Chains A and B, each alone.
Chain A
């Protein structure tokens, strides 16, 4: 038992119904050209009204008007298939969409994780039902056999090749995936079931039918390997939630936001990557989307943290119009490197690592709010320091003591004759970069006992300019 086949008999209808609040109301999917509209699928309630697939829209309207019409959209089906493949990828690393409306999962290697097959199957069924998709599930030793058996069975689990052969043998020839003319030819030869076909000598079958027929039968019995194209999850995350009503307060956006960030975290966990930058689009009915960029300093994927950061940015934003939809896009998904932790941590009481704290502060106070400090080898005080994202020690000039505090802008000293404790020390530099400085610096003590660092530009006689405090 290696492959599970999940057949989705009414994928298009389920895809439409799961979005609607009243799935039991009559509904029909319509397709065809504008001249000849034809019902593609109808739900049970519509069937009860007498609507049938293949009926023309005019005939349907003649019967009743009490049903909803939805356009049948092949792209939509493709999207749901991708969605379900992503869902199946959580259970198995080999997920294939090679047959339409069918999900093939390699299950043998997943059994250790998800328990014995009955429990695993129950879980698959439960989740599919919650998602709102009708399904039939069959497990068989090879993928094609699983697909063919799902035509006639539901809940079948076959472990051995002999049982599979016997069960397949009872299948009618029309339902084993053969081309229609081949199946008709078999039927006219009086062969009704697969076992009768298999009883024929190989060479006579090869003589009368094209080579594909023999190949198909061999694949079905597992005597010929089948190369399946496997589902590869996409490289970016782009999910949108449409709101049923217009939202004007951020409180009401928190629920969809939480769902989106949780989806993103699950997606990242599946790919073993993190996210460093994502965008939140708030979609409006008539205005352009409001875009909120959420940036992190390192790749993260913890759902609670992603939600909190996105929420921190969201709360700051003033939106021009009510919001109709929320969309989360993440394009850069770098590899996730778990944080390095010491076994014997120096600070065992640490409840929030510094990286998370830094992101939280940046989310509320702005990207530039958390800074490091770097020394610059320059005699001019204005150029002696630099803010740095991650500070590495700069070079330090040796010299007379410098004040602990440096004023951002020098201000004139209010006192006229302070006591000069040291100085003058001349700083003359910067003629090469336009920031020419020629000053005499003094260490002074004010009348109230404060020690300050002040200067007077060379050749001027104005008040001393206060530039620092010896704190």
Chain B
């Protein structure tokens, strides 16, 4: 029985290549954007894994990408942790997006401490999602975050500059946010080839 389960796991994680492709079980973590869900192989965020959001600058709708997910998590009583956010979240906007501020926690840290705090939060399994803004994070640090997310079965999101797109990353999903035209592209997704289509995303609306 255990062997069967292990084989299922292997197939789902796409560690074994199979000539005849089978659809993956749908993700329990929809992004809240119907167009994006349709692009992703599991129809949502990869569960218990790290997702990277790459962006050339701020103010491009990078929060809007996550707000539906965060709203869903906080409404069901899951804690959302922001580790060392670059700015102050404006409560009015976050609440308007449906995020329950009672379940929002902000951790002030810098540099290596921020990475440590993210890893602790992910590993503990007591948070629904952990958002971090790693600066100068190398492959090793990201791998640690990915492993911690797997251990704690928690959604992890890392915001990084778009220049990092050329570097390989252990994240299960890499999404780039473009400014002109305002759109979202999937660069890498575990469990399928990244779709070539981009979906439009407009900021500030």
Distance A189 CA – B101 CA, assembled complex (angstroms): 90
A:346-377 near B, CB below 8 Å: 346-347, 349-354, 356-357, 360-361, 364-366, 368-376
Q: B106 touching A471 by the CB < 8 A rule?
A: no
Asked if A401 CB lies within 8 Å of chain B CBs, one says yes
Chain-A contact segment, one of B107-115, B139-147, B166-174: B107-115
Q: A375-B101, A391-B104, A448-B179 are in contact. Are A403 and B126 (CB under 8 A)?
A: no
Complex partner residue of A396 from B64, B85, B91, B102, CB under 8 angstroms: B91
Q: A471 touching B152 by the CB < 8 A rule?
A: no
Q: A371-B106, A385-B91 are in contact. Are A402 and B96 (CB under 8 A)?
A: yes
Distance A361 CA – B203 CA, assembled complex (angstroms): 34
B:94-125 near A, CB below 8 Å: 94-97, 100-102, 104-109, 113, 116-117, 120-121, 123-125
Q: How many A-B residue pairs have CB under 8 A?
A: 179
Chain-B contact segment, one of A41-49, A94-102, A153-161, A405-413: A405-413
Chain-A contact segment, one of B18-26, B30-38, B51-59: B51-59
Distance A371 CA – B100 CA, assembled complex (angstroms): 15
Chain-B contact segment, one of A51-59, A251-259, A274-282, A449-457: A449-457
Q: A365-B117, A404-B89 are in contact. Are A470 and B101 (CB under 8 A)?
A: no
Q: B104 touching A352 by the CB < 8 A rule?
A: no
Chain B contacts of A347 at CB under 8 A?
78, 125-126, 153
Q: A351-B124, A354-B124, A361-B117 are in contact. Are A396 and B95 (CB under 8 A)?
A: yes
Q: A375 touching B104 by the CB < 8 A rule?
A: no
B65 CB → nearest A CB, Å = 9
The residue on A at minimum CB distance from B202 is A451
B:7-54 near A, CB below 8 Å: none
Asked if A74 CB lies within 8 Å of chain B CBs, one says no
Complex partner residue of B125 from A349, A396, A407, A421, CB under 8 angstroms: A349
Asked if B127 CB lies within 8 Å of chain A CBs, one says yes
Asked if A68 CB lies within 8 Å of chain B CBs, one says no
Complex partner residue of A405 from B89, B96, B117, B152, CB under 8 angstroms: B89
Q: B90 touching A372 by the CB < 8 A rule?
A: no
Q: B117 touching A385 by the CB < 8 A rule?
A: no
Chain A contacts of B85 at CB under 8 A?
405
Asked if A387 CB lies within 8 Å of chain B CBs, one says yes
Q: A372-B102, A372-B104 are in contact. Are A396 and B126 (CB under 8 A)?
A: no
Asked if A393 CB lies within 8 Å of chain B CBs, one says yes
Q: B152 touching A406 by the CB < 8 A rule?
A: no
Complex partner residue of A393 from B76, B102, B203, CB under 8 angstroms: B102
B69 CB → nearest A CB, Å = 14
B33 CB → nearest A CB, Å = 15
Chain B contacts of A346 at CB under 8 A?
76-78
Asked if A468 CB lies within 8 Å of chain B CBs, one says yes
Asked if B134 CB lies within 8 Å of chain A CBs, one says no
Q: B120 touching A451 by the CB < 8 A rule?
A: no
Asked if A394 CB lies within 8 Å of chain B CBs, one says yes
Chain A contacts of B79 at CB under 8 A?
354
Asked if A443 CB lies within 8 Å of chain B CBs, one says yes
Chain B contacts of A448 at CB under 8 A?
56-57, 179-180
Chain B contacts of A421 at CB under 8 A?
204
Chain B contacts of A360 at CB under 8 A?
120
Distance A385 CA – B181 CA, assembled complex (angstroms): 33
Complex partner residue of A470 from B59, B77, B106, CB under 8 angstroms: B59
How does the 8 Å CB contact mask read for B177-199 relative to A, with 1 for contact and 0 for none?
00110100000000000000000
Asked if A469 CB lies within 8 Å of chain B CBs, one says yes
Asked if B88 CB lies within 8 Å of chain A CBs, one says yes
A451 CB → nearest B CB, Å = 4
How does the 8 Å CB contact mask read for A336-353 relative to B, with 1 for contact and 0 for none?
000000000011011111
How does the 8 Å CB contact mask read for A208-248 relative to B, with 1 for contact and 0 for none?
00000000000000000000000000000000000000000
Chain B contacts of A351 at CB under 8 A?
123-125, 151-152
B84 CB → nearest A CB, Å = 10
A:393-430 near B, CB below 8 Å: 393-394, 396-397, 399, 401-408, 421
Distance A446 CA – B179 CA, assembled complex (angstroms): 10
Asked if B2 CB lies within 8 Å of chain A CBs, one says no
Complex partner residue of B87 from A352, A375, A469, CB under 8 angstroms: A469
Q: B88 touching A385 by the CB < 8 A rule?
A: yes
Asked if B61 CB lies within 8 Å of chain A CBs, one says yes
The residue on B at minimum CB distance from A353 is B126
Asked if A162 CB lies within 8 Å of chain B CBs, one says no
B176 CB → nearest A CB, Å = 14
Distance A450 CA – B127 CA, assembled complex (angstroms): 31
Q: A351-B123, A365-B107, A396-B91 are in contact. Are A405 and B60 (CB under 8 A)?
A: no
Q: A373 touching B104 by the CB < 8 A rule?
A: yes
**Central interface residue in A350, A392, A408, by most chain B CB within 10 Å:** A350
6 contacts between A and B (CB under 8 A): A365-B113, A384-B92, A385-B89, A405-B59, A449-B179, A470-B203
Pick the 4 closest A-B CB pairs, nearest first.
A449-B179, A470-B204, A375-B91, A469-B59
Supplied contacts A451-B203, A469-B87, 17 more A-B pairs, CB within 8 Å: A346-B78, A347-B153, A350-B126, A372-B102, A373-B101, A373-B106, A375-B91, A375-B92, A401-B204, A402-B90, A404-B94, A405-B63, A406-B88, A406-B89, A470-B203, A471-B59, A471-B64
